[in-house]
Homo-oligomer: A and B are copies of this chain.
Amino acid sequence: MKKKVTLKQIAKELDVSIATVSKALRNSKEISEDTREKVKAFAKLYNYRPNNIALSLKNRKTKTIGIIIPEIVHHFFSKVIQGIEEVANKKGYNVIIGLSNESFDKEVINMEMLANGSIDGFILSMSKQTLLKQDYHHFNETISQGMPIVMFDRVVNEINCDKVVVDDLKGAKKAVVKLIENQCKNIAIITTKDYISVGRLRTQGYIEALNEHNIDTQSELILKVDDKLVSEDYIEVLEQELKTLFLENPNIDGVFAVNELYAITVMKVARKLGKRIPEDLQVIGFTDGVLSRHSTPTLTTVCQHGKKIGAVAAELLIEKLENESEYEYFKSVVIETELKERESTK
């Protein structure tokens, strides 16, 4: 059996990055001519076939949508997929899913693989590493070859494509205003590092809500969690950080957490320190997943409507696939969030 060589193998063989191989095969001017020729010669020798999306599009439609998401053990992404599936199935499309595991290389490899004749277009949310590297060549080149992409949740301005996002800033603001109205005087935020756009926007919403109510922002009440390690241990690290936060700032009476796992962990740590929820401490999370609904007390949270995000993304993509437009256009749809009040607030 003749094996098909992969991008990864070429990269390893020539001791360059997967991005370099990918760019060289697409003849990107970013890569030196020398390297481009070396990569192409090697690819030819080992019978690697670069994507030829345009060609495959001319010949057939697969009626399949490719989804690429950063991780699968995540309620929000599962709900988005449900929403995509429902619309896709109704319109006679199938769905296949690839995972980037928050890795840039895996994102590139998955896109190459799926774009190679298996699908008609992509719905995707970027990996954290891609956001950090700010290397978007694989998206831009896929689009320029005629295969549409719809991005959701984690998006960047630099890419011209349809986008579906939640109003992270407004959603966060709603949550923090609720805490202020409920008489919280010292509100902490548990958020991500700034390179995650949704974390950054939610932090901004927190600051704007405080400002508009003439409350000073206290930098010691902003905890930016480093979750680059996607391991189960990082919850233990978070618990330790939260314990320190509460012990050093005993007057904290409200917490806004940018995801539900952070919020649940806040409640757990606070309870261990003898704080009653919601009497001594009110907590609001973001993302309405199973944890929020089944925790004790149940969690007040900003609901993102993941299923709706998926449904809208699928509609946008199928619209692009089925109606050839004279003009190039890109839609950005903002899905409104909703504050679901439960037992963790007064």
User: Interface on A for B, CB 8 Å cutoff?
Assistant: 1-4, 6, 8-9, 57-64, 72-73, 75, 78-79, 81-82, 85, 89, 92, 94-99, 101, 106, 109-110, 113-114, 117-118, 264, 268, 290-291, 294-296
Residue in chain B with minimal CB distance to A86: B101
User: Once the chains are docked, how many angstroms separate the CA of A99 from the CA of B58?
Assistant: 28
Residue in chain B with minimal CB distance to A116: B118
Q: Which residues of B contact A264 (CB under 8 A)?
A: 294
User: Once the chains are docked, how many angstroms separate the CA of A95 from the CA of B71?
Assistant: 13
Task: Select one of B6, B95, B99, B294 contacting A98, CB under 8 A.
Answer: B95
User: Once the chains are docked, how many angstroms separate the CA of A109 from the CA of B89?
Assistant: 11
User: Once the chains are docked, how many angstroms separate the CA of A117 from the CA of B113?
Assistant: 11
B99 touches A85 (CB 8 A): yes
A97 touches B94 (CB 8 A): no
Task: Select one of B9, B81, B291 contacting A291, CB under 8 A.
Answer: B291
Q: Which residues of B contact A8 (CB under 8 A)?
A: 92
CB distance from A2 to the nearest CB of B (A): 6
Residue in chain B with minimal CB distance to A235: B293
Task: Select one of B63, B78, B81, B294 contacting A4, CB under 8 A.
Answer: B63
Q: Which residues of B contact A72 (CB under 8 A)?
A: 72, 78, 81-82, 97
B296 touches A63 (CB 8 A): no
Q: Which residues of B contact A109 (CB under 8 A)?
A: 94
A57 touches B296 (CB 8 A): no
User: Once the chains are docked, how many angstroms separate the CA of A118 from the CA of B58?
Assistant: 19
CB-based closest 7 A-B pairs:
A296-B296, A97-B97, A73-B78, A4-B60, A72-B78, A3-B61, A118-B118
